[in-house]
Structure 1
Amino acid sequence: MLKVVGLQLRLEDGKKEKNLARALEALRKVANREKEVDIFCLPELFDTGFSYVSLKDIAEEIPGETTNVLMNFAEEFQSYVIAGIAEKYEGKIFDSAVMISPKGKILCIYRKTHLFQDEKNHFASGDKIFVIDLGRFRIGLQICYEVR
């Protein structure tokens, strides 16, 4: 059996440090209560919220401050972490999901390929999909609207 925890957080648009602190507090609370969680999932753009105005200033490269915190958490609790992050890459901004291993290593960075409505005005579109082998399970990453 695969034990997956999805966290829904109250995010504040543009308040990256506050959102990261809130997410880490929630992750630790659940990790200390629920034993042997295989995967922790954080929401789309959990770090920045949907703050399009300041996106270019607060998006970050991966690895970066946000992913470093998540990598440490993943290693400490021996769990995978999947997190939606505003990513700065090659001069563009992506709505990305990063997957981190229980050893604290980045397994993949998925960049949202099917942008919804005006997201095209703020994000570049990704062009790769990933399937991650977790032993008896294989998983892929999608972000929000792409599930449809």
Structure 2
Amino acid sequence: MPVAVACAQVAPVLGAVPSNQARSAAQARSAAAAGASLVVFPECAVTGYPFSREDASAVAGPADAVGSLAASLGVHIAAGHIEAAGPDLYDALSLFGPDGARLATYRKAHLFSTERTVYAAGSSPVVVDTAVGRLGLTVCYDLIFPEYVRALVDAGASMIVNATNWITDPWQAGMGWDGSMVRSLARVRALENGVPVVMSCLAGSGGGFTSIGHSTIAGPSGRVLATLDAAEGVAVAEVVTDDADARRWSELATYRADRRPDLY
């Protein structure tokens, strides 16, 4: 059965939560009007992306307004936010159902570079049953680790959701870290696991870096179903995992069954 999914690529301002929420609501309405049953927002979409513990602490909080938005539109919404738990901060992704109920909150397991001075690492992979499939939740750097994504699929995930803020600067861009590269990440993770990947990225700039954008929805064969450039926008695509083409592809591309774990 086809499922329409959307990436809502936003450029939030750090700490400007009400205006960030208003911008996100407009994009969610656009995605719902286009028929999306699942809308995925980027990492830290609610708060903006902080580069210091002080800034992260100042904007940490629940994502309850996202649940209200999901209920008002009757869609599933996943959005990145910063969660406080005692003395610890987490780079989190919460998923809400069409009734507004929080279905799951995932805490980013793989922390990149200076993120380790800001956040605690999550320790619980999340695969959650929903009306749009079994969703494996990931945040940003998690997508770099193929074994982690593979473990989510082995645990039953039929779709990988990735909320991210891929950032770059002129030096990193010169090394090839750009929109085409991050789009390829979504494509390869989809291809090697035979499941769709919905990767929603931040746009804009902050902290001396540029958010790459290029949110991408990739089908199980790695084909790009919808994508964006570096600007704010909404990408919507219909994901089909059980039609004749999908079945033919899965019979040919038996990647998971062909593994040789005795060798590695």
CA 1:137–1:10: 2 relative to 1, 3 Å = same
Query: Aligned letter for 1:39?
Result: L
Amino-acid identity (%): 26
Say if 2:46 is the partner of 1:47.
yes
Shift of 1:130: 1.2
Residue by residue over 1:35-90, the C-alpha shift from the partner in whole angstroms, topping out at 9 and shown as x without a partner, is: 3x211101000122222342111111x3xxxx222112211222111000011122
CA deviation after TM superposition for structure 1 residue 136, in Å: 7.0
Which one has the bigger strand percentage?
A: 2
Q: Which stretches in structure 2 are left out of the alignment for 5+ residues?
A: 145-264
- 2:77 alignment counterpart: 81
Per the TM alignment, residue 102 of structure 1 is displaced from its structure 2 partner at its CA by 1.0
Distance 1:142 1:120 in 2: 17
Secondary structure (helix, strand or coil) at the match of 2:20 reads helix
Between the aligned partners of 1:6 and 1:18, the Cα distance in structure 2 is 19
Measured in 1, the distance between the counterparts of 2:78 and 2:70 equals 10
Provide the residue aligned with 2:34 in structure 1.
34
Residue 106 of structure 2 is aligned with which of 106, 110, 124?
A: 110
- Judge conservation of contact 2:31–2:39 (CA < 8 Å) in 1: no
Call closer, same or farther: CA 1:21–1:113 in 2, change over 3 Å. same
- Corresponding residue for residue 90 of structure 1: 86
Q: Are the counterparts in 1 of residues 37 and 132 from structure 2 also a CA contact under 8 Å?
A: no
Offset, 1:19? 1.2
Cα distance change, pair 134–141 in 1 and its aligned pair in 2 (3 A): same
Q: Show the counterpart of 1:124.
A: 120
* Secondary structure of the structure 2 residue equivalent to 1:54: helix
Cα RMSD for the two superposed structures: 1.5
Deviations along 1:80-137, whole A, 9 cap, x unmatched? 1100001112221110000101111011110001001110011111111111123572
The answer for unaligned runs of 5 or more in structure 1 is none
Question: Equivalences for 1:62-73 in 2 at 5 Å?
Answer: 62=62, 67-73=63-69
Distance 1:100 1:135, change over 3 A: closer
Structure 1 residues 78, 121: closer, same or farther in 2, change over 3 A?
Answer: same
Greater radius of gyration (CA): 2
Equivalent-residue separation in structure 2 for 1:34 and 1:91 (angstroms): 41
- Name the aligned partner's letter for residue 3 of structure 1: A
